Amino acid sequence: MRYHLSPARRAIIKKSTNSKCWRGCGEKGTLVHCWWDCKLVQPLWKTVWRFLIKLKIELPFDPGIPLLGIYPEKIMTHTCTRMFIAALFTIARTWKQPKCPSTEDWIRKKWYIYTMEYYSAIKKNDIMPFAATWMELENLILSEMSQKDKDKYHMISLITGI
């Protein structure tokens, strides 16, 4: 993942006075603001949490979990981590734009991670860990996709082939 300096940090480095959020919300652009607190980023995180609840994963709504990887015990971290990585990529993609990172982009990113892991599993000739991780997720991701996207990206279950 690409590393971004937060505007506040960057302002110190460049000795400029502009340390406002790059999305233009008017708030101070601290690291936690840009990745989590910003009102333009919050809707995506709420979507991520709703998705986790559908997977029966209940986590406190806390930035330390996706940003620092601090998990409460007994949580399926491998599943959460993939969802969070997809969200962070989606946020980074619209980093300097005054808009919300989109749910559709997040879903497509999840699918991308899923296909990459699939081909890597095929290459290693070891599909079982992949299937165990993605079985439930795959159905849920597919159920979220529009038919248009499914047709466009030829999205079918790679585990069952339907």
Binding residues (CB under 5 A) for Zn ion: these are 21, 23, 25, 27, 38
- To Zn ion, the closest distance from the beta carbon of 30 in angstroms equals 10
The CB-of-33 to Zn ion minimum distance in angstroms stands at 6
Q: How far is the CB of 24 from Zn ion (least distance, A)?
A: 7
Pick between residue 45 and residue 134 the one whose CB is nearest to Zn ion: 45
Least CB distance from residue 27 to Zn ion, whole Å? 5
Residue 109: its H or E element: helix 103-123
**Could you give phi then psi for residue 15, rounded to 5 degrees?**
55, 30
Nearer of residues 25 and 55 to Zn ion, judged by Cβ:
25
Q: Which is nearer to Zn ion, 102 or 157 (CB)?
A: 102
Amino acid at 112: Y
For the chain, report the end-to-end CA distance as a whole number of angstroms. Answer: 32
Q: Are 98 and 27 in contact (CB under 8 A)?
A: no
Comparing CB distances to Zn ion, the nearer of 9 and 137 is 9
Counting beta carbons within 10 angstroms of the beta carbon of residue 1, is it exposed (0 to 12), middle (13 to 18) or buried (19 or more)? exposed
Burial class (CB in 10 A: 0-12, 13-18, 19+), 34: buried
Cross-strand partners of 156: none
Measured from the CB atom, the residue of 27 and 105 that comes closer to Zn ion is 27
CB of 37 to Zn ion, least distance (A): 7
